[in-house]
Structure 1
Amino acid sequence: MTKAVIFDLDGLLIDSEVISLKMYQRIVQDYGQTLSMATYAQEYSGKSAVTNMQHLIERFDLPFDVDTGLKRALALEKTFMQDGVELKPGARVLLQFLHRNHYSVALASSSIKSRALDILTSHDVAQYFDQFTFGPDVDRGKPYPDIFLMACAKLQQQPADCLVLEDSEAGIQAATSAKIPVICVPDMKRPNQPYADQATAIVPSLTDVITYLKSVR
């Protein structure tokens, strides 16, 4: 039986992946190159900012180091997020359901702590989470299982008793490697094989997770 639910943040709980796409597109456009949404979804979605910047620099042969790139990315993200970032449909309803039904809830995000908590607090949902794990807390980011295993440990739950909610292939792979059941709520793209087969279910929205949890109680 599921005792705890572990949330990803970007693209799953908040509608931010399109902002990340625009941010990386702007960086490579400054050097006369292009980054497609398909490439972003396949190679960058769900991974840490450091990993993505390293990959971006290598792929596009950009003339700066990772720290410089991260500063540029952060400045662009602040500009693009001036109008705020919305919760995904059904996010608040699902969090309230989990709270009412006494599930333990954690966030396991590749984001940095200050950014994630600022966003959750701005939407008045931070209080629904019992534990938080962020990208810098682990040595290896998604698709490695470390972040989800740490979340389970903080919740004092066995992986088999948890459920991960993810939108990205990297996240699905990380949860599967941690031996945690995972439901995918696709954002930019439906996961390709074999990631789709690794998911316990693929559902169109976060409200469908409530239906799933009711069916397995």
Structure 2
Amino acid sequence: MGKLAFDAVIFDMDGVITKTAITHAAAWKKMFDEYLQKHAYETGEPFKEFTQGDYLTYVDGKPRYKGVASFLESRNISIAFGDTSDEPGMETICGLGNRKNEAFNEVIARDGVEVYESTAQLLNDLQAAGIKLGVASSSKNCAPVLEAVDMLKIFGARVDGVVSAELGLHGKPEPDIFTTACEMLESVPAKAIVVEDAVSGVQAGAKGEFGLTLGIARENNEKELADNGADFVVTDLEELGGISGLNNLFLKNNK
């Protein structure tokens, strides 16, 4: 294979590298349904469950507290932001976010973490080809999750929820975490690729003006990803046909 047209690829983690998007969705549902039942009892309003549609629209890909605030706003529920040290389940944005994280870690501890084989293969191939690799995730669990599947060391840059808080970065749909990872890899967005499965993530890739924003539709959401900034959408990375297929998409997108 000749010289590749791109020099860096930045991957989201949940739903792209690891099968943890399903775990996050289940943890969000557990936390919100418990809270909404309590809220319905206290206000006399009917209980309306947290749905997969709610997850994809208001929560998926966003930093934890931003996701809580976004969903509650959709239900016209207003509570204090609180503090990041709030006890899990306390009736604040942070308390609910911390309860969700607790539920997520309970599931990970019980069930472990699975990796998408096609993503692992592409990462290995890109690494062998000398392409710079980054991971950009809203998750504060990014490092331990990647460590659990022995994949942390292949990334030259990691910008996650912990790093974002330290650097004061805006979360998705703003492009900060991707552009920061790109800088750490000593690349530029025009020569880099973003791989995402969330609407907020492809919006971030588009806003950051990356050479290619590739969407992975794990939730039959091809249209939403394409409408919100994905240059191309696949249902799994095996459809690319390896690095050469990825290079062809990059070239096609940068004619």
Tell me by how many angstroms 1:7 deviates: 0.3
Q: 1:23 to 1:94 in 2, by over 3 A?
A: same
> For residues 111-122 of structure 1, what are the structure 2 equivalents within 5 Å?
111-112=139-140, 115-122=141-148
Q: State the distance in 1 between where 2:61 and 2:6 align.
A: 24
Q: State the distance in 2 between where 1:197 and 1:122 align.
A: 32
Report the counterpart of residue 133 of structure 1 in structure 2.
Answer: 159
- What letter matches 2:159 in structure 1? T
Q: 1:73 to 1:194 in 2, by over 3 A?
A: closer
Q: 2:236 matched to 1:213?
A: no
Q: State the distance in 2 between where 1:194 and 1:97 align.
A: 26
Report the counterpart of residue 184 of structure 2 in structure 1.
Answer: 154
Report the counterpart of residue 174 of structure 1 in structure 2.
Answer: 204
Q: State the distance in 2 between where 1:168 and 1:75 align.
A: 22
Contact 1:173-1:195 at 8 Å conserved across structures: no
Q: State the distance in 1 between where 2:218 and 2:8 align.
A: 23
Q: State the distance in 2 between where 1:43 and 1:134 align.
A: 19
Report the counterpart of residue 85 of structure 2 in structure 1.
Answer: none
Report the counterpart of residue 77 of structure 1 in structure 2.
Answer: 104
Q: 1:103 to 1:144 in 2, by over 3 A?
A: same
TM-score between both structures, scaled by the size of structure 1: 0.90
Helix, strand or coil at the partner of 1:192:
helix
More divergent stretch after superposition (101-110 vs 84-93): 84-93
Helix, strand or coil at the partner of 1:98:
helix
- Paired residues in the alignment total 215
- What letter matches 2:51 in structure 1? S
Q: State the distance in 2 between where 1:83 and 1:45 align.
A: 21
Identity, % of aligned positions: 23
Residues 112-142 of structure 1, C-alpha deviation per residue, up to 9 Å, x if partnerless? 1xx2111111111112111111134243110
Helix, strand or coil at the partner of 1:69:
helix
Contact 1:7-1:166 at 8 Å conserved across structures: yes
TM-score between both structures, scaled by the size of structure 2: 0.77
Larger CA Rg, structure 1 vs 2: 2
Q: 1:194 to 1:130 in 2, by over 3 A?
A: closer
Residues 25-77 of structure 1, C-alpha deviation per residue, up to 9 Å, x if partnerless? 11222232311112211221111111112223434437611221122112211
Q: State the distance in 2 between where 1:77 and 1:62 align.
A: 24
Contact 2:15-2:21 at 8 Å conserved across structures: yes
